[in-house]
Structure 1
Amino acid sequence: MVSRRTIALLLGLALVSGVVLYDTVSGPAQPTLTVENNDTTSYQLSAYTVESREKAMYMNFEVTTRADERRLKTLSQLVWSDRDHNVTLADDGIPAQHITVAPGEKVTTTIDGWTRGDVTVYIVEELRDNETHVYTTIKTCTRPGQQHTLTFEDEGTSGGSTCS
């Protein structure tokens, strides 16, 4: 007869194996991003991966203000669009990826440079009007198998995410 202790040990191992299997089969390690453009203008989306939300908020970007002044802003200052132009990452060592989406186009890609525990930052610029910053979002799911979506429409930008 098998003891309760042995059964508990076997169940514990099965649960641990299940968690490991779940991480392995839950999808790609990097987040998957789907961008759909239902608007009449093209957009450039920049994706950055950082170790934590706190570090993300201190990321530095060079921007051109509406008054045509070049200055430095942190991500925390870009959470709400002030219609800055030419938003460019000023910090070194942060993985970046850029995607341009034309009107009527739908693009799906994985976010390179993401490792387990990182957060993903998206900055969107409208290409019709001198690369004007229109949207920022931060995805804080730290597990593999994430799916992010962004949709551009005449009324604005919407998005969502699934954290496996």
Structure 2
Amino acid sequence: MVSRRTIALLLGSALVIGYVQYDTVSGPFKPTLTVENNDTTAYQLSAYTVESREQAMYLNFEVTTRDGEHRLKTLSQLIWPDGDRNVTLADDGVPTQQITVAPGETVTTTIDGWTRGDVTVYLGEKVADNGTHVYTRVRTCPRTGQEHSLTVEEAGTSGSATCA
């Protein structure tokens, strides 16, 4: 026969494990990202997590400009795509995640490295066009249960975010 103490320990352990993976009110702990590619070329999406929106705007990226010049730009300079290519994070210690989405593919993933209160930055590049930067979004949500989505089409990109 199993003792009440053993049952209590098992239930307590299950609750702790459940809390680590899920916020009991809001759903999954880490933000989820769904990227749908309705274009005829592949896209690479990079996700970065930082502590604040201000910190996000000062992230440094190495880029190749339209004119072929290699230079450093902050995220605040990349908010509106301007034909930059090969956008690469230059700062150390920033949790980074990259996914490539083929034409006609839909990919859903969780954003690793995110902790409650962090800001998520997304940068999208068109793979077939020498990695041309086409998309930037900064998502701020202090709660768990976030759902971010991006749809890529030949005519452009659209996205949404739900902050539970």
Corresponding position: 1:155 with 2:155: yes
Match of 1:43 in 2: 43
Match of 1:124 in 2: 124
Deviation at 1:124, TM superposition (A): 0.2
Q: Deviation above 4 Å: which 4+ runs of structure 1?
A: none
Q: Report Cα offsets for 1:65-86 as digits up to 9, x if no partner.
A: 1111110000000000011000
Q: Report Cα offsets for 1:106-128 as digits up to 9, x if no partner.
A: 00000000000001000000011
Match of 1:83 in 2: 83
- Please give the secondary structure, in 2, of the residue aligned with 1:138: strand
Q: Report Cα offsets for 1:45-100 as digits up to 9, x if no partner.
A: 00000000000000000000111111000000000001100000000000000000
Deviation at 1:155, TM superposition (A): 1.1
Deviation at 1:23, TM superposition (A): 3.6
| Superposition map of 1:13-32 within 5 A | 23-32=23-32
Counterpart CA distance in 1 for 2:106 and 2:142 is 25
Counterpart CA distance in 1 for 2:26 and 2:63 is 38
Aligned-partner residue type, residue 49 of structure 2: T
Deviation at 1:25, TM superposition (A): 4.0
Counterpart CA distance in 1 for 2:67 and 2:155 is 26
RMSD: 1.3
Aligned-partner residue type, residue 121 of structure 1: V
Identity %: 75
Counterpart CA distance in 2 for 1:25 and 1:95 is 26
Aligned-partner residue type, residue 59 of structure 2: M
| Superposition map of 1:63-102 within 5 A | 63-102=63-102
How many residues are paired up?
Answer: 144
Match of 1:140 in 2: 140
Q: Report Cα offsets for 1:7-43 as digits up to 9, x if no partner.
A: xxxxxxxxxxxxx9x9424211110000000011100
Counterpart CA distance in 1 for 2:117 and 2:40 is 36
Gapped regions of structure 1 (runs ≥ 5): 1-19
Counterpart CA distance in 2 for 1:116 and 1:24 is 14
Counterpart CA distance in 2 for 1:138 and 1:79 is 9
Corresponding position: 1:54 with 2:72: no
Aligned-partner residue type, residue 137 of structure 1: R
Structure with greater Cα Rg: 1
Gapped regions of structure 2 (runs ≥ 5): 1-18
Aligned-partner residue type, residue 120 of structure 1: T
